[in-house]
Every structure is written in structure tokens, then in C-alpha cells.
Amino acid sequence: MKEIQAVPEFELQIIATGMHLSSEFGLTYQVIETDGFKINQKVEMLLSSDSPSAISKSTGLGIIGFADAFNNLNPDLIIVLGDRYEILAASTAAMFTNIPIAHIHGGETTQGAYDEAIRHSITKMSWWHFVAADEYKNRVIQLGEDPKRVFNVGGMGVDSIKKSNLLSKQNLEKKLKFKFGTNNLLVTFHSITLEKDTSQRYFKNLLECINKLKNINIIFTFTNSDTNGQVINLMIDKYVNDNIKNSIAFISMGHLNYLSTLKFVDGVVGNSSSGLLEAPTFKIGTINIGDRQRGRLKAESIIDCNPDQNSITSAIEKLYTDDFQNKLKSTKNPYGEGKATEKIMDILKSQSLPNNLKKSFYNL
């Protein structure tokens, strides 16, 4: 967004939606404004419930809201990142309005979440594709997209790390109001949206394993607004209240605080994409629980485990072994070394807007 602002021939417009506008998730649209950006329009779409019906209705509200926003702002192009239902709503409205879409982080697979279907659906709606690895580039082409409009630029998360002026431990502790111990783990666990009624059981198993750890501080980040996420947040609250001396939870840590925290923890535990996309750059371990991220490219720093107590315990034990810690020193992030922003900007500046959005299916 900063790079777009810096280019005279581009005009940046920002639409904020979803969790950014929710008090339950920290009203983080305010952080966007604090960073110096003007939000041109807000699209309210989240309902208070996280049931499957509520998520479907939220997506429908999003399509209506984005249709109005695009009508008001009249953009020449929309840029979207990822695979969430909020982005599906934005992309659907843009497709019906004949606005070309540039999609970032397409071609990836996550077999345990409906994000998988959403991501590939957005790919078919999009004109330009900025992917994070050659394997993902090939998959987007396999979906019938023209190779001339598919570009491997690397991961945006890695780019963000390289561009951030991360905090010192002392300044971070002051901001978080939390003291790091000798050993520390960062825990983020989301619901597995393609499974029924497993979130509570799986997360309970994780908490039971964490509860047995000695001399390890735990930093929780709340789950997102996916189906059945609220029960996980309630369980986090209860755990922290019962273990106030060595644990803390955040609705939203904020971008800089989160990345800075990755510098000072031993590993990331849970099933967040950040454990695969960003944590390897810090040469720390990731304990990846269950199927939510199954299918994504993984560095050697990733320890996959099942969502049962024995498997999670074994994974944590492996994380702290000398052999594994030594292996972390040579970890390479498969999502690149940064510069994704510059690559995307160079491509956008060199491309002309399409006269129409008619696409031929590219056959392999």
C-alpha cells in the first residue's frame, strides 16, 4: 500500500472489512489509520455468531457491501490477498462489476479448511496472479490461467519481515506488558473448517499438553472469525486466567508486535499459516497440528503432528532436542527472501489494463 501511494500514476483506495471493523477482534481498522492510511470505505459484514449459517450470511452481506463500495469508488483494479471468505465476497462483487483482480498468494493448498476452495475460486476470477513459489505458479496454470499473467514473486510475509524495523526485547516486553522467560512458545490455533465439531476437542488436547510443560511461557493469539472459532477464544481466556504468571493472550498483537515476538520465542505452535510462511525466516521451529495447513510447502523447521496429546507432546519434545535446534540454523524459507512488493509493483507498472476480461482456458 505504501508503494502504491509512492507512484504518481497510481491512486490508492482502501476498503476495510471483516474483523478489522469488529470490536470482538480489536477494531484493527484503527491500526490502518494510525499507520497513515485513509480508509475510503468500510464494509460491515460480520455477524456476531460464528455458525456455518452466520458465515454464509456474512459472505452475502459482504458481496452487497462491496458492490456498493465498488460503485462508489469506481476502481480500475482491485488487489486481494489470500483465501478468506471476506476476500471471496470482494472478488465476487468485482467479477460481476467487470473490475480486473490481482490476486496474491494463489495456487496454495490447505486441505483442512474451506480456504482451499475459496482460494482456487478467486484464482478463476482473477486476471493477474502473484504467487509465492514455483509449485504454486504451476498449480495456477493447471487451473487454466494464462502463464503470461502468473508471476512468482515470493511470500508477502517474508517481504514484510525484511521491511520491518523489529522491536528489541526490552521494548517489546514493555509494549506487551509481558516478560519473556528462558523458554517461550507462541500459540495460534484456528478451527478446522472442513471438520465437524473438532475444534474444542483438538484445542483441549493442546492445552493439556501445554499445561504439563515446565518453565515455558506461553503467548496466545486469538483465533479468527472462522466457523466455531469463539469456543477456542473462550478456552484461551480460561487457561490464561488460571495460569496468569506464565501466559498471556492477545485479541490482536498488531503486525509489528507479532513479528517482533517471533524473534524471541522458541517456536510457533498451532495451525496458523504464519508458522509455515513467516516463522522459518526467523529460524525457529513450528509445530503444525492437524490438517488445516496440509498441502502447503514446508521448511525443514516444520514439525507435523496429529491433534492428539501423544503426538503433540512428542512434537514439543522434538522441538527442544539439540539435533533439531542445530538443524534450525540452516533453515531456508521456501517462500523466498523478500522483495515481493517491488516485483509486484514492477509488473503492475508494466501491464496495461485489459480492454475486456474474456479469458481462454489454458490447456496443459
**pLDDT for position 254:** 84
Q: DSSP states of 177-212 as a string?
A: T----SSEEEEE----TTSSS-HHHHHHHHHHHHHT
**pLDDT for position 282:** 95
Q: What DSSP element (H or E) covers 122?
A: helix 115-125
**pLDDT for position 225:** 64
| Cα torsion 88, 94, 97, 102: sign | negative
pLDDT in tens, 150-205: 999 999 989 999 988 999 999 999 999 999 999 999 999 987 655 666 778 889 99
Percent of the chain with pLDDT over 70: 97
Contact of 146 with 123, CB cutoff 8 Å: no
d(CA 159, CA 337): 7
**Residue 301 pLDDT > 90:** yes
pLDDT in tens, 219-263: 999 887 666 678 888 899 999 999 999 999 998 888 899 999 999
Beta-carbon contacts of 189 under 8 Å, excluding residues fewer than 6 positions away, are 202, 203, 206, 223, 232, 269, 270, 271, 272, 289
Beta-carbon contacts of 33 under 8 Å, excluding residues fewer than 6 positions away, are 39
Q: Which of 152-156, 198-202, 277-281, 306-310 has the lowest mean pLDDT?
A: 198-202
Domains of the chain with CATH codes: 2-153+339-350 (3.40.50.2000), 163-328 (3.40.50.2000)
Over residues 109-134, mean pLDDT: 90
**pLDDT for position 107:** 94
